[in-house]
Amino acid sequence: MRTLRLLTSGLALSAASVAYANDDLTTQIANPAQWAIQTGDYANQRFSQLDQINAENVGDLQVAWTFSTGVLRGHEGSPLVVGDTMYVHTPFPNIVYALDLANEGKIKWKYEPKQDPDVIPVMCCDTVNRGVAYADGKIFLHQADTTVVALDANTGEVAWSVKNGDPAIGETNTATVMPVKDKVIVGISGGEFGVRGSVTAYNIADGSLAWRAYSMGPDSDILFDPENTTHLGQPVGADSGTNTWEGDQWMIGGGTTWGWYSYDPEADLIYYGSGNPSTWNPSQRPGDNRWSMTIFARDPDDGMAKWVYQMTPHDEWDYDGINEMILTDQDVDGAPRKLLTHFDRNGLGYTLDRLTGELITAEKYDPAVNWTSGVDMDPASPTYGRPAVLAQYSTEQNGEDVNSTGICPAALGSKDQQPASYSPETQLFYVPTNHVCMDYEPFRVSYTAGQPYVGATLAMYPAPDSHGGMGNFIAWDNIAGEIRWSIPEQFSVWSGALATAGDVVFYGTLEGYLKAVSAETGEELYRFKTPSGIIGNVMTYEHGGKQYIGILSGVGGWAGIGLAAGLTNPNDGLGAVGGYSALSDYTALGGQLTVFALPN
């Protein structure tokens, strides 16, 4: 493990002076009283400088007010606060509320799109949405049916809308979007339906298409320059997006982009990850299946890729690479570096140089991970950067229709989309994790547009020889490359974390608890049970000189799909229904925003 030492207090503090970012959004992000972007800042650190609520007084938190969303499905993402207005979103049908914080939360406007309910069965793992975005006086919503709509932030009137995909062939959306400069960056869902993933940029002014970059396909489709786009420091060469696929399988190859996006204004690069290759039956798609399971660094102006890194070549376990990329400035071996840290579904925490794509570290952040013995870190090796797969846990070791057992992590990964946070004060990453293993049996499946294209049956269960629960909330020390402390949880921690300058870290649990813990030690300082399980992301803001903590509760998502959709067959929900069957003993459906504050 190379030595990492903090150099700066984080990207968010310096980004405001850089002209490359969207000027309006950058100004809003720089004001810690607001929560102007889902990720807290462009660096995805999810750190707040507010410290009115701190480790000494957080135990006195009280519920300040609540708001019912009127929707009973999984509530991911968080509200935004810009000025005196809070913007709250819901899962399908993707209602957006604008609440006037200066007038007791009065509803200023409500936008309720009319979507075809036929989109619901095409959504893989609940009808979640990870929130709206703000820039240039507009609120941006990417609906389940892939309609991208720009709303006037003051009135809710539609400024423009554009269709980004086609649900008839399995293309849907669950993700938020990211405004960068004069564009808004959007992704696509549908890897379980054999779509071909892409990232698209629309012009903020009128919604016109600026560029689209696919995850796999010809160089012109994936926006690669064969000689100047690199993988681990080497040019990718011509046809890299097709030559590791058999025939035209890449055309239905998955690699969807439903995760989080980050942006470095100084480097002028956006970062994101691609998801699983289609199908889940690896024997039907021999080869590395590039560029699924890949981190991309792209120019936001034209979409051209500067570098890529494929984490799980020829994925056999559905270890999507869509989790957030957290950007920090640190010292490596005595020299300053601009870094990217990514906690992948495959159970490995990666650190790369975000300018060059050089791989610096790749370590297991859950000790239960067993499908790999580790990543080859020798640049001179022909397998440099590849994980070594242990044959016992390969899902194609014995061909199709053979059940591989005891694989850790399960398909939902050691962490799914639930975002981690980073505190520049403690130099720790706070990571919500899944402590879940699986049995995995692939079977042959044929492709039909708009129909599930999975090809595997799964069973999930807690990791053996552990605390018996299905989750941990951990503090990750990227200097020592180890877990500093770990809090065991009965169920997966499916909530996004928030770190604050008050030395407090917040997260939610699937049973419905909002928890506050010491950023230094992990000691629990506060808990409150909200009306439903929490899969949303904790946020904070200040209004009228008072700091507030906000969280959406409403059980669902992949882990809670059984409750959200009323499923009882253990194999449904791609194996999650059986794995999380006990969740119904602790919580029920809901859709509520709960806001906390200290007493007057």
> How do the domains of the chain map onto residue ranges?
4-597
User: Going along 208-291, which residue ranges are E strands?
Assistant: 209-214, 230-231, 234-235, 262-264, 269-273
Kindly name the residue from 145, 219, 318, 320 that is annotated as catalytic: 318
Write down the pLDDT at residue 41: 98
Q: What is the mean pLDDT of each run of 10 residues along the chain (600 residues)?
A: 36 40 90 98 98 98 98 97 98 98 96 95 94 98 98 98 97 98 97 97 98 98 98 98 97 98 97 97 96 98 98 98 96 90 97 96 96 96 97 83 93 97 96 97 95 95 93 89 94 98 98 98 98 98 98 94 90 90 94 97
Q: Which fold has domain 4-597?
A: Methanol Dehydrogenase; Chain A (2.140.10)
Integer Cα distance of 456 and 279 in angstroms = 9
Residue 256 annotated as lining a ligand binding site? yes
Write down the pLDDT at residue 22: 83
Write down the pLDDT at residue 361: 92
CA angle 201, 494, 458 (to 5 degrees): 95
The end-to-end CA distance of the chain, in Å, is 48
195-224, pLDDT tens digit by residue? 999 999 999 999 999 999 999 999 999 999
Residue 46 annotated as lining a ligand binding site? no
Tokens found for residue 192: 């379980």
Question: How many residues comprise the chain?
Answer: 600
What DSSP letter does each residue of 458-517 carry, written as one string? EEEEEPSSS-SSSEEEEEEETTTTEEEEEEEESS---SBPEEETTSEEEEE-TTSEEEEE
Pick from 261, 249, 145, 269: which is nearest to 194 by CA? 249
Write down the pLDDT at residue 480: 72
Q: What pTM, to 2 d.p., does this model score?
A: 0.95
Residue 276 annotated as lining a ligand binding site? yes
**Helix (H), strand (E) at residue 306:** strand 305-310
Residue 76 annotated as lining a ligand binding site? yes
Residue 212 annotated as lining a ligand binding site? no
Cα 146 to chain centroid, rounded = 18
Integer Cα distance of 141 and 132 in angstroms = 5
- Report whether 583 contacts 562 (CB < 8 A): yes
Write down the pLDDT at residue 21: 63
- According to DSSP, the residues that pair with 298 across neighbouring strands are 270, 305
Active site residue 248: no
Prior bond of 291 cis (ω within 30°)? yes
483 phi, psi to nearest 5 deg = -75, 125
Integer Cα distance of 306 and 210 in angstroms = 18
Write down the pLDDT at residue 571: 87
Write down the pLDDT at residue 192: 95
Residue 154 annotated as lining a ligand binding site? no
Pick from 439, 424, 401, 420: which is nearest to 575 by CA? 439
**Helix (H), strand (E) at residue 140:** strand 138-142
Residue 130 annotated as lining a ligand binding site? yes
